[in-house]
Structure 1
Amino acid sequence: MEPRWKGKGFKAKALAEPMSKIVSQLQSSLIQSDAHGLLTGCTVLIAVKPEQTDLLDRACFGKRIVTAEKDNEWFQLGLEEAFYLCFSLKCLKVVGDDKCPKNDVELWQCMISRKPNFPDFYKAYSHLRIKNWVVKSGLNYGVDFVAYRHHPSLVHSEYAVLVLSEGEDEGNGRLRLWSDLHCTTRVSGSVVKTLLVLRITNNGNDVASPSCLEKYTVVEQTIRRWHPEQCREDNMIGENRTKCRQQEALGKASLKTKFTQKHDVKLKPGLVGIERALTTAADHQAFSPILFVGVRILRFWSDLAGEHGVVFVGVDSARAGEGSDQPS
């Protein structure tokens, strides 16, 4: 699926300012300012300067919170976003209720205590972020994340991302039932997104520390509706389709010829609509009922319009009743 840019020139703008460059600028700015975040519930709050506000917006981290403060701007980060800035980019320190910065292991355990499946979700999040995809919440679409090629103001999201943990596709897990799979793909397709399933496997490693992430395995799968035209034997199907269309065209031409010869029809210019109706009847081999009515109409118009009508030679009601009674 091609990216759907939201305006003219937005693609060029995105190429001029790649997301990797913006994230690098944000990383440098947060390191220089020794940025700290406060862990509260399932979010992390961070106070930043106006220039960092612009970088956070452009890099698509967190959500701005409107406050009465003039000197600082507040951002609300999700657990995956905060841990990515802290653990992967090393540009943010997170403090808890004790006001003491937490190391990577302590923060990791705090995240898991608030979200038991955090390791798998973070692995999926970081897997896409490292590849310079912008990752946002996908709750509006019934999935875990949505992935953008660049900033959401420039381009629509391309993927609806579903995170499946090891063994989740068995038992009572998601996508186990065909109805669940059909609903998910239907919703994704209705909003013009490709369903991307990330299957996360920890390979039996202990999740006591974030170092286990290096041994995780991520398998990417895109799920789309199957189209016969896109199967492996594309050339053969294309050839067969062309032959079928040619045979269909020849069959229609043959039917029209037989129809004209059988009923000895002579059509003059005029009454084009009725001529087309009879042609359609010939296409569908529905001679008897439609032809009978057509003959009556044409005789009426012939008597009414004289030489501008249609002249039938040797056609009577008995002959009009010949042929198939069932349309194909």
Structure 2
Amino acid sequence: MQFSLKRKPNFHGKFNFEPFPKRDLRFEGIYNGITVEVSDPTQIKALYENGCYGKGSKSRGAPDSGDADEKLLLGLEEAAFLAFYLESLIIKDTTGQQMNWTDYLQVALQLNERFIEHLAAYLYLKSKNWVIKSGIKFGGNFLIYKHSPLYYHAAFLVIIQTLVESELYIPKNLQGLQRVAETSDKDVLLLTVFTSSGLNAFYDMPASLGTLTINETVVRRFNYTAFVQSKQK
């Protein structure tokens, strides 16, 4: 997969970036019915500085509003990744009871019936060390960054689809998404998750998602004007 790193204007040289939290750190979050909230300031700082997980409850991105009561909001997929794969996050419900994999999967599927496919895609991208944020602002599922979103723009707008449900994007819709991505200098990455009819098997243990197959397709629109200009230089 070819892509270019696009730095933001506030980039001022080298910086240390760790894609995962340190192994000896433990975090705690509360599932509030929509997302998982982390309230402890030390934990918030560690999670965002080591992998850029979550977003500030009072900020557009990093939790930097300066308000003492600002929380870190974790998406369903990244909370599951931290809790059940890295085993560094404890998720509790609003009554203080710890949620296991089955408990969490049940509530996640109520919010997103394709949560299993989305989590599989998240794990696939994480295995390649991408930083993953929500892509809803651009009409997609994820935005992925090779380094911190504080200093770099996203490289791809990610779209997740399945073959079982015959939800392949028709060319017209895909072209529209590509145009949206192109306005912010991104490409579209189409991830196709191949699932079987026996999705109940994934309710038993998180490791079951490793059996799913994912294909990736990079969608780029040929820009004739830019091509001609590049040849004239």
Query: Shorter-chain TM-score category?
Result: 0.7 to 0.9
Within a 5 Å distance, the mapping from 1:213-252 to structure 2 comes to 213-226=209-222
**Higher RCO (CA < 8 A, seq sep 6+):** 2
Secondary structure, in 3 states, of the residue corresponding to 1:29? Answer: coil
Q: Deviation at 1:175?
A: 1.3
Q: Deviation at 1:43?
A: 0.5
Q: Would you say how many aligned residue pairs link Structure 1 and Structure 2?
A: 213
- Answer yes or no: is the 8 Å Cα contact 2:17–2:148 preserved in 1: no
Q: 1:83 to 1:113 in 2, by over 3 A?
A: same
Aligned: 1:196 with 2:195 = no
Aligned: 1:208 with 2:203 = yes
Secondary structure, in 3 states, of the residue corresponding to 2:147? Answer: coil
How does the TM-score come out when normalised to structure 1?
0.59
Q: Deviation at 1:88?
A: 1.1
Q: Deviation at 1:100?
A: 1.4
Name the residue aligned to 2:145. 148
Quick check: which has more Rg, 1 or 2?
1
Matches of 1:226 and 1:90, distance apart in 2: 43
1:5 to 4, 7, 15: 7
- Answer yes or no: is the 8 Å Cα contact 1:202–1:215 preserved in 2: no
Query: Which consecutive residues of structure 2, in runs of 5 or more, have no partner in the other structure?
Result: 59-64, 225-230
Q: Deviation at 1:81?
A: 1.4
Aligned-residue CA RMSD (Å): 2.6
Secondary structure, in 3 states, of the residue corresponding to 1:195? Answer: strand
Aligned partner letter, 2:24: S
Matches of 1:75 and 1:183, distance apart in 2: 32
Q: What is the aligned-residue identity percentage?
A: 25
- Answer yes or no: is the 8 Å Cα contact 2:120–2:210 preserved in 1: no
Within a 5 Å distance, the mapping from 1:271-290 to structure 2 comes to none
Name the residue aligned to 1:314. none
2:79 to 79, 82, 86: 82
Query: Which consecutive residues of structure 1, in runs of 5 or more, have no partner in the other structure?
Result: 229-240, 242-328
Name the residue aligned to 2:18. 19
Q: Deviation at 1:68?
A: 10
Matches of 1:93 and 1:111, distance apart in 2: 16
Secondary structure, in 3 states, of the residue corresponding to 2:120? Answer: helix
How does the TM-score come out when normalised to structure 2?
0.81
Secondary structure, in 3 states, of the residue corresponding to 1:28? Answer: coil
Matches of 2:83 and 2:142, distance apart in 1: 20
Name the residue aligned to 1:288. none
- Answer yes or no: is the 8 Å Cα contact 1:5–1:11 preserved in 2: no
Normalized per residue, the structure richer in helix is 1
